[in-house]
């Protein structure tokens, strides 16, 4: 009686047991060779993560020289043109690393290195692993150790349009002489050319603003319009013009306007002074640099879109 009851229990358990649709993997391993290194990897998991691997493993094998490929160390699938360092990073991303657990990949406290993320980005682009590409781009975008030149290089190489405008604005904010030879080698030539163009535009504009003062605007009730106009020109030459030409400090248009608004100009009457400052503000001349940069960014976005 007891035996019959136990048998019934086992039968009942078997009838309700089923294989997971998503995670019941076949036990086929493939041997892959990258450079001189061999990897033995679960085919089902690679197929699940990468369309390229899925296609590779689904190629017909029967009656071809490929029928034993990937089945042993002696006959691995050879992945040409990749480095085992990059491939290690891809596998660490896909399956976790023995050095740091997978939680580290998601932890902001233990951010993966820039070189690891670039390898993941490179490999995920090759093997068509979208979540890996998105992960690497998101991590690199705000990575404190990713230098600007490399960021622009990656932006171009992987066509990451959202990075372009912010990175180009930062580039333009830097003096030309701070770019190293290594930086120049990395920044895409079109970006570098556009950077030099806009720097030239800005420099020319600043020099012309420094050499010719904006016109004084006299109030109708001013008792000494010529005196006000003369001292406005002198004040411009001694103030904003010096700031625009300063060899060491880069004053922005906003810095110059703020200085002008707070400056004490005792020989210009208050009415003429206010009108003249407003005229500078309204002309937009001090903010043209931003316009130069934004116009060039539109050009660059179009260029990147055409790549
Ligand atoms: Zn006046």
**Whose structure tokens read 């009108």?**
275
For the full predicted model, state whether its pTM sits above 0.85. no
Q: What is the residue-wise DSSP string for 12-62?
A: HHHHH----SSS-----EEEEEETTEEEEEEHHHHHHH-HHHHHHHHS--T
Distance (Å) from CA 266 to ligand 1 centroid: 11
Question: What pairing do the DSSP bridges indicate for beta strands 77-79 and 29-34?
Answer: parallel
Q: Which residues contact 143 (CB under 8 A, 6 or more apart)?
A: 111, 114, 117
pLDDT tens by residue, 29-60: 999 999 999 999 999 999 999 999 998 888 77
What's the Cα-to-Cα distance from 108 to each of 9, 130, 133, 258, 274, rounded to whole Å?
49, 21, 18, 39, 51
- The one-digit pLDDT tens for each residue of the chain (307 residues) are 576 677 666 666 667 899 888 888 888 899 999 999 999 999 999 999 999 999 888 877 666 666 788 889 999 999 999 999 999 999 999 998 755 544 545 555 578 999 999 999 999 999 999 999 999 999 999 999 999 999 999 999 999 999 999 999 999 999 898 999 999 999 999 999 999 999 999 999 999 999 999 999 999 999 999 999 999 999 999 999 999 999 889 999 999 999 999 988 889 999 999 999 999 999 999 999 999 999 999 999 999 999 8
Sheet holding 37-42, edge to edge: 37-42, 29-34, 77-79
Around ion ligand 1, residues with a beta carbon closer than 5 Å are 222, 228, 269, 272
Distance (Å) from CA 273 to ligand 1 centroid: 7
What's the Cα-to-Cα distance from 135 to each of 121, 124, 269, rounded to whole Å?
8, 10, 61
Distance (Å) from CA 40 to ligand 1 centroid: 86
């Amino acid at each position: 009686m007891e035996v019959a009851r136990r048998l019934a229990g086992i039968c009942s358990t078997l009838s309700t047991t089923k294989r997971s649709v998503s995670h019941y993997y076949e036990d086929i391993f493939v041997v892959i060779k990258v450079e001189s290194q061999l990897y033995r990897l679960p085919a089902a998991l690679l197929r699940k993560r990468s369309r390229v691997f899925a296609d590779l493993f689904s190629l017909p094998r029967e009656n071809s020289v490929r029928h034993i490929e990937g089945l042993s160390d002696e006959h691995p699938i050879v992945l040409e043109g990749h480095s085992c360092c990059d491939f290690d990073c891809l596998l660490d991303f896909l399956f976790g690393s023995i050095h740091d657990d997978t939680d580290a990949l998601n932890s902001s406290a233990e951010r993966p290195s820039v070189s690891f993320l670039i390898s993941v980005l490179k490999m995920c682009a090759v093997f068509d692993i979208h979540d890996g590409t998105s992960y690497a781009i998101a991590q690199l975008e705000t990575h404190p150790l990713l230098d600007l030149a490399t960021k622009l290089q990656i932006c171009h190489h992987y066509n990451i349009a959202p990075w372009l405008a912010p990175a180009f604005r930062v580039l333009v904010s830097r003096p030309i002489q701070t770019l190293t030879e290594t930086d120049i080698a990395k920044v895409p030539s079109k970006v570098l050319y556009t950077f030099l163009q806009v720097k030239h535009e800005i420099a020319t504009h600043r020099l012309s603003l420094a050499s010719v003062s904006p016109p004084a605007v006299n109030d109708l009730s001013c008792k000494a319009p010529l005196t006000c106009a003369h001292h406005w020109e002198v004040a411009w030459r001694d103030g904003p013009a010096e700031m625009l030409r300063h060899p060491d400090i880069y004053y922005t248009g906003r810095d110059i306007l703020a200085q002008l608004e707070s400056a004490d100009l005792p020989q210009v009457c208050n009415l003429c002074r206010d009108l003249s400052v407003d005229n500078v503000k309204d002309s937009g001349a001090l903010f043209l640099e931003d316009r130069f940069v934004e116009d060039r960014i539109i050009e660059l976005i179009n260029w990147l879109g055409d790549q």
